[in-house]
A and B are shown apart, each in its own frame.
Chain A
Amino acid sequence: MIRFALKSLAGRKLRTVLTALAIVLGVAMMSGAYVLTDTIDKAFDSIFVDSYAGTDAVVTGKDPGFSFEGESAQAPPIPEETLVRVREIDGVEIATGSVQDFQTKLLRPDGEPIDTGGAPSFAFGIETAPEYDRFNPLNLVEGRWPSGGSEVVVDEGVAGDENLQLGDRIGVAALGPAQEFTIVGIAKYGDLSSIGGATFAIFDVPTAQKLLDKEGRLDAVTAAAADDTTPEQLTQRIQSELGGDVTVQTGVEQANEESSEIATFTTIIRYFLLSFAGIALFVGAFVIFNTLSITVAQRMREFATLRTLGASRRQVLRSVILEALVIGLGASIVGLFSGLGLAVGLNELFKALNLDLPQTQTVFATRTIVVSLLVGTLVTLVAGLFPAIRATRVPPIAAVREGATLPRGRFARFTPYIAGVVIALAVLALGYGTLADDIATGDRFALLGVGVLALFIGVAMLSSRLVRPLAVGVSPIGHWLTVVVMILIWPLGTLPYWLLRHGAFGPGGALGRVGALVLGAALNPLLALIVLVMWGRSAVTKWQPEWPMEFPGVLPSTRINRIGRENARRNPGRTAATAAALMIGIALVTFISVLANGLRVSNSDAIERQIQSDLIITSQDGYSEFPAAVGDAAAGADGVETASNVRQDIAQIEGDGANLTGLDDRVAEVYDFRWEEGSDELLTQLGSDGALLPGNVAEDRDLAVGDSFTVRSTDNESKDFVVRGIYEGSPFYPLLGTASVSREAFDELYERPRNRFTLLNAADGGEAARTSVESALEGFPDTRVQTREEWIDKEDQEIQQFLLLLYVLLALSVIISLFGMVNTLALSVFERTRELGMLRAVGMTQRQTRRMVRHESVITALIGAALGLPLGIFLAVLVTSALGQYDLRFALPLDQLIVLAVVSVVAGLLAAITPARRAARLNPLEALQYE
């Protein structure tokens, strides 16, 4: 009996740990999301505060005050004389001017630009004389400040990463061809050695002006007030002196403005990560619910005994809730601190996906602690509530009755109806959330979130009714997929493991054993390490590895699998709740992969539909604009017949943010306009005021041929255009902007016009011309020359990469459901001790026992997949139809869905490892011993 008690205690330890882990991971994700984003916020705040620490007033160009699709218009530069005028204003003690840019690439020795992972690559032109130190947020680490046209100072981060030394030459590419500079100093921003992946290059002002095509201009004039003047007074005085063409703000205002822009960005990341934490906690709640339900059923006799001893229902309720509370609080505390580690991991994940974020000292806010502990504990309590209520329904008589079962809840028979109502409401919420167009974005997301949660809960409630037929349906699939998986892992997994164990612990001659060891280690060195550890353990401690070990096989037995299948069916509620946890992860992965596949198909269709050229030049990232000079360089390359520049920048059209495109007159050769009104000839006749619109824009903005509209550029230039033609736009991925005008008209509106694409046709269809174009563009490292198909591939890869990030984040919830599966199986094995003993006594081998448990696990996992796959597809259909106006396609990625089914089988196999071993090792004697 003591042995039995110890065993059940050990079982309980594992169970408690696994149950708690379900919550630990969710809470860790939550606290990690807070810690990471708080830390980023803090880093940016300190950057901006440092930047304007010594500044009382900042003069910039007038902010155009509009944005489009997340890109806001930058203020245009101001004339250099502004600085002279500011210096003369009463109350200005000292003032300086600077230029800056965030698209100036530093080059590696091989000419490739240093990858900033989406972070800006800054260029600064600043005055570095000692009296201007107060304005300078940069601190020299070594060397000196640059002076003259060939010197540069780079940041400590990039110097370390690229191993740059004082005196080295480095290429810098801004608007024109790349130029070489000598590094004369290395600096850091405030105390930060790196601001994310951002790089920066510091020049003196004239050099930067020349490099950035801002001769005679400054981006900002910063001033410090004399002792008797407040920043506000100074700001007012400068504003009235300079007039309305410029914006004047105090240093504090400027810092706040810039950091609030960044805060919006980190808030998005925070909610993005928190939503995955929410999913993880939701799945965790299922695991807690299920585990507590099973243990309550198994401890029925204990509760009944308590009741006969005089415990009230309330006391029983309290004891179970207390258990949940302890698990929840303990898990939340562990999760809270694991979050600190996870924040580092998340940061590495973002880095790996080219999204490098600045960091300072880790911020562990009170809010993080309170919210994480509260949410983790509450979720556990809510999940534990139902099992606790069931525990109170155990009648005292169960203490003396063999094989008593828990009474069904009062509302159990209504469950399918309740589930039906929940699902109906969920679908209603989802439908309204996706299809209605008069709700705010925040409300929409809330509605969709609640809808999806309710859908999952409804399906989970209903699933206990589906378990029996589903188990029968998926059993053969599980059987054969298991065979496939086992065959796949046989040569590199089970076979070398057997060989290694045979070599280490088996009988036989030295030669055979050494041979087995060598072969096994050659097939899988990692396993060799594990067996080495086992060997060490057996040499040092009393522990002995099991030998003989059966030679690994792959073919399962249908007869044994049938018993496993029936085991999966005997407690439908239990199997359903276990499978439902996995269902959530699978449904979300399915949803994302179906949606992404639709996105890919739509994307490549849209590109193929629009682009007709042999070659396409884009920037390295494919979406940033690049210098207009690139187009001219490419046009001169050998073999190029047509080089058509597509200029693009944001603009304001009739007061709304928009994208304005400037087109060459030969663009019809490389872009397929499908005219609704107009023809290709029109492109040569646009002149200085003609414009083209895609059909959907014309309709939305109520513009017809002959109507006119006003465009304002980021340089605050305004001009009226007349609609000359309307073409059929591409709703999904329009490569031309909201409105297109002639290149000449575009270049008049923008001081520094940039291209979005340069489309090339070559005499021989591209291959030979490509080499000459590439060499013509050697001075412009931030460009890529590619065929249409290569471009599509590149876009696919980017979607794929983002998909990968989502998969990694969703993997957390799948892992949690895995714990749930291990828990359920382990508890079932424990519960069936006597039965397992009987099976062993009547001739079931250890291997057959393992396979029986394994098949039960695989079936449970496949039920999760069978529920999750259609759910995910349903959600994807819903979203696709909601986005119908953007022409998003619906395309099932069958291969990926099959892979997902296989993954769920693998999950089932993994979850079964420990419980199956435990079942196989049970002594048949247990069957013959009574309590």
Chain B
Amino acid sequence: MENGNASAVVIANDITRRYGEGDTAVDALRGVTLEIAEGKLTAVMGPSGSGKSTLMHILAGLDKPTSGSVSISGTEITTLKDSDLTKLRRRHIGFVFQFFNLLPMLTAEENVLLPLSIAGVKIDEKWFDDLIDKVGLGDRLTHRPAELSGGQQQRVAIARALVSRPTVLFADEPTGNLDSATGSEILTLMRDSVDAYGQTTVMVTHEARAAAIADRILFLADGEIVRDLPRAEPHEVLATMEELAAR
């Protein structure tokens, strides 16, 4: 393991995921084993249908593997019941979605605080101010999502994911619904949060320039990890992708 020196917060062991039964069954994952290192940004890349989204869903406890095990912060999650999984998500997991998924009737501030509010946890004012400053939303806190641009909405979503200081943040195509300039800003913000807070992050993407900000890039194809790169430039990522596509 290239990142063996850092301790792993997410460990997946030989996970498979099969959809459907009999002749029509589809194997989305065919035995994936990996460790996500603490304080690092890991990108999962692959063409559509490669199983990268399924992998993320299973790592985040949203979906259950057909076989294999997943643990987060030392807790085996594949056998947890729904209520315990929910509690685990509250403590350990943050999400950033492609379509932002903000509640339209709440202000930016309320959206950011939503996870704390749901969990009934008190706000750490200093951390909140620091975070808002970091994502650059100071003058937008009282606006509703409809009054914000796409980039601003994604900033709110990132702040929402970070506000509970999760063990690991999962981002699903965070720039997929943004223009390239705004996308770059968001990527910078994500990189910053890893550097500044040591925020362990897993990002699923199919964009080379997004993957290029990661400390480690996993390439998935047909439900298997086919390449595991350390930090790479966009053209290297592209080259790898073309190489894999040509196989």
Contacts of B164 in A (CB 8 A): 843
Cα A843 to Cα B113 in complex, Å, equals 12
Contacts of A560 in B (CB 8 A): 118
Query: In the complex, how many angstroms separate the beta carbon of B52 from the nearest chain A beta carbon?
Result: 12
Q: Are A838 and B97 in contact (CB under 8 A)?
A: yes
Q: Are A842 and B115 in contact (CB under 8 A)?
A: yes
Query: In the complex, how many angstroms separate the beta carbon of A390 from the nearest chain B beta carbon?
Result: 21
Name which of B81, B98, B105 has the most chain A CB atoms within 10 A of its CB: B105
Q: Which of A203-211, A514-522, A562-570, A689-697 contacts B (4 or more CB under 8 A)?
A: A562-570
Contacts of A834 in B (CB 8 A): 99, 101
Cα A521 to Cα B106 in complex, Å, equals 44
Contacts of A840 in B (CB 8 A): 86
Name which of A567, A834, A847, A927 has the most chain B CB atoms within 10 A of its CB: A927
Name which of A841, A844, A845 has the most chain B CB atoms within 10 A of its CB: A841
Which of B63, B103, B105, B118 meets A848, CB within 8 Å?
B118
Which of A563, A569, A835, A845 meets B101, CB within 8 Å?
A835
Q: Are A928 and B117 in contact (CB under 8 A)?
A: no
User: For residues 203 through 222 of chain B, which have their beta carbon under 8 Å from a beta carbon of chain A?
Assistant: none
Which of A567, A843, A846 meets B82, CB within 8 Å?
A846
With A566-B103, A835-B103, A928-B57: A841-B95 Cβ-Cβ less than 8 Å = yes
User: For residues 56 through 87 of chain B, which have their beta carbon under 8 Å from a beta carbon of chain A?
Assistant: 57, 60, 62-63, 81-83, 86-87
Query: In the complex, how many angstroms separate the beta carbon of A795 from the nearest chain B beta carbon?
Result: 53
Contacts of A566 in B (CB 8 A): 103, 105-106
Cα A927 to Cα B160 in complex, Å, equals 15
Query: Which label, helix, strand, loop or mixed, suits the secondary structure of the A interface?
Result: helix
Contacts of B60 in A (CB 8 A): 841
Query: In the complex, how many angstroms separate the beta carbon of B144 from the nearest chain A beta carbon?
Result: 10
Q: Are A559 and B118 in contact (CB under 8 A)?
A: yes
* Nearest-CB residue, chain A, relative to B54: A925
Q: Are B105 and A924 in contact (CB under 8 A)?
A: no
With A838-B101, A843-B118: A925-B63 Cβ-Cβ less than 8 Å = yes
Query: Is B90's beta carbon under 8 Å from chain A?
Result: yes
Query: Is A227's beta carbon under 8 Å from chain B?
Result: no
Cα A847 to Cα B63 in complex, Å, equals 20
Contacts of A837 in B (CB 8 A): 101
Query: Is A118's beta carbon under 8 Å from chain B?
Result: no
* Interface residue tally for chain B (C-beta within 8 Å): 32
User: For residues 884 through 931 of chain A, which have their beta carbon under 8 Å from a beta carbon of chain B?
Assistant: 923-925, 927-928, 930
Contacts of B81 in A (CB 8 A): 548
Query: In the complex, how many angstroms separate the beta carbon of A558 from the nearest chain B beta carbon?
Result: 10
Which of A570, A842, A845, A928 meets B114, CB within 8 Å?
A842
Q: Are B104 and A570 in contact (CB under 8 A)?
A: yes
Contacts of B106 in A (CB 8 A): 563, 566
Q: Are A928 and B115 in contact (CB under 8 A)?
A: no
Contacts of A925 in B (CB 8 A): 57, 62-63
User: For residues 102 through 120 of chain B, which have their beta carbon under 8 Å from a beta carbon of chain A?
Assistant: 103-106, 114-115, 117-120
Cα A566 to Cα B106 in complex, Å, equals 8
Cα A839 to Cα B105 in complex, Å, equals 14
Q: Are A928 and B172 in contact (CB under 8 A)?
A: yes
Query: Is A550's beta carbon under 8 Å from chain B?
Result: yes
Contacts of B86 in A (CB 8 A): 840, 843-846
User: For residues 96 through 121 of chain A, which have their beta carbon under 8 Å from a beta carbon of chain B?
Assistant: none
Query: In the complex, how many angstroms separate the beta carbon of B162 from the nearest chain A beta carbon?
Result: 12
Contacts of B89 in A (CB 8 A): 841-843
Query: Is A771's beta carbon under 8 Å from chain B?
Result: no
Cα A923 to Cα B60 in complex, Å, equals 13
Cα A925 to Cα B19 in complex, Å, equals 14
Query: In the complex, how many angstroms separate the beta carbon of B57 from the nearest chain A beta carbon?
Result: 6
Query: Is A684's beta carbon under 8 Å from chain B?
Result: no
* Nearest-CB residue, chain B, relative to A563: B103
Q: Are B95 and A930 in contact (CB under 8 A)?
A: no
Name which of A548, A843, A927 has the most chain B CB atoms within 10 A of its CB: A843
Query: In the complex, how many angstroms separate the beta carbon of B28 from the nearest chain A beta carbon?
Result: 12
With A566-B106, A925-B62: A843-B119 Cβ-Cβ less than 8 Å = yes
Which of A557, A835, A845, A927 meets B83, CB within 8 Å?
A845
Which of A550, A570, A841 meets B62, CB within 8 Å?
A841
Cα A898 to Cα B119 in complex, Å, equals 34
Cα A7 to Cα B75 in complex, Å, equals 33
0/1 interface trace, chain A 438-454, chain B, CB 8 Å (1 if under): 00000000000000000
Q: Are A567 and B105 in contact (CB under 8 A)?
A: yes
Query: Is B154's beta carbon under 8 Å from chain A?
Result: no
Query: In the complex, how many angstroms separate the beta carbon of B177 from the nearest chain A beta carbon?
Result: 9
Contacts of A927 in B (CB 8 A): 97, 101
Cα A145 to Cα B96 in complex, Å, equals 94
Q: Are B53 and A928 in contact (CB under 8 A)?
A: yes
Contacts of B82 in A (CB 8 A): 845-846
Contacts of B105 in A (CB 8 A): 566-567, 569-570
Cα A550 to Cα B83 in complex, Å, equals 9
Q: Are A838 and B83 in contact (CB under 8 A)?
A: no
Cα A928 to Cα B104 in complex, Å, equals 17
With A838-B97, A925-B62, A928-B172: A846-B83 Cβ-Cβ less than 8 Å = yes
* Nearest-CB residue, chain B, relative to A927: B101
Query: In the complex, how many angstroms separate the beta carbon of B219 from the nearest chain A beta carbon?
Result: 21
* Nearest-CB residue, chain B, relative to A852: B118
Which of A839, A846, A923, A930 meets B118, CB within 8 Å?
A839
Q: Are B97 and A548 in contact (CB under 8 A)?
A: no
0/1 interface trace, chain A 816-852, chain B, CB 8 Å (1 if under): 0000000000000000001101111111111110000
Cα A842 to Cα B95 in complex, Å, equals 7
Query: In the complex, how many angstroms separate the beta carbon of B180 from the nearest chain A beta carbon?
Result: 19
* Nearest-CB residue, chain A, relative to B57: A925
Query: In the complex, how many angstroms separate the beta carbon of B168 from the nearest chain A beta carbon?
Result: 13
Cα A568 to Cα B81 in complex, Å, equals 31
Cα A846 to Cα B118 in complex, Å, equals 12
User: For residues 139 through 187 of chain B, which have their beta carbon under 8 Å from a beta carbon of chain A?
Assistant: 160-161, 164, 172
Cα A38 to Cα B21 in complex, Å, equals 60
Cα A848 to Cα B60 in complex, Å, equals 20
Cα A824 to Cα B172 in complex, Å, equals 32
Contacts of A923 in B (CB 8 A): 62
* Nearest-CB residue, chain B, relative to A566: B105
Cα A562 to Cα B90 in complex, Å, equals 19
Cα A338 to Cα B94 in complex, Å, equals 54
Contacts of B161 in A (CB 8 A): 842
Cα A662 to Cα B19 in complex, Å, equals 93
Cα A898 to Cα B120 in complex, Å, equals 32
Cα A846 to Cα B53 in complex, Å, equals 24
Query: In the complex, how many angstroms separate the beta carbon of A922 from the nearest chain B beta carbon?
Result: 12
* Nearest-CB residue, chain B, relative to A845: B86
Cα A356 to Cα B62 in complex, Å, equals 63
Q: Are B120 and A930 in contact (CB under 8 A)?
A: no
Q: Are A559 and B120 in contact (CB under 8 A)?
A: yes
Q: Are A548 and B83 in contact (CB under 8 A)?
A: yes
Query: In the complex, how many angstroms separate the beta carbon of B48 from the nearest chain A beta carbon?
Result: 11
User: For residues 16 through 51 of chain A, which have their beta carbon under 8 Å from a beta carbon of chain B?
Assistant: none
Cα A570 to Cα B146 in complex, Å, equals 12
Contacts of A841 in B (CB 8 A): 60, 62, 89, 95
Cα A843 to Cα B84 in complex, Å, equals 10
Cα A841 to Cα B119 in complex, Å, equals 12
Which of A550, A567, A848, A928 meets B97, CB within 8 Å?
A928
Cα A589 to Cα B118 in complex, Å, equals 39
Task: Please give 17 more A-B residue pairs, beta carbons under 8 A apart, in addition to A563-B106, A844-B86, A928-B172.
Answer: A550-B83, A559-B120, A560-B118, A566-B103, A566-B106, A569-B105, A838-B95, A839-B103, A840-B86, A842-B114, A842-B115, A842-B118, A842-B161, A843-B90, A846-B86, A927-B101, A928-B98
What are some 18 contacts across the A-B interface (CB < 8 A)? A548-B81, A563-B106, A566-B106, A569-B105, A834-B101, A838-B95, A839-B114, A842-B114, A843-B86, A845-B82, A846-B82, A846-B83, A846-B86, A923-B62, A925-B57, A927-B97, A928-B53, A928-B62
Nearest first, the 9 A-B pairs at minimum CB distance are: A843-B90, A838-B101, A566-B105, A570-B105, A842-B115, A559-B117, A845-B86, A844-B118, A924-B62
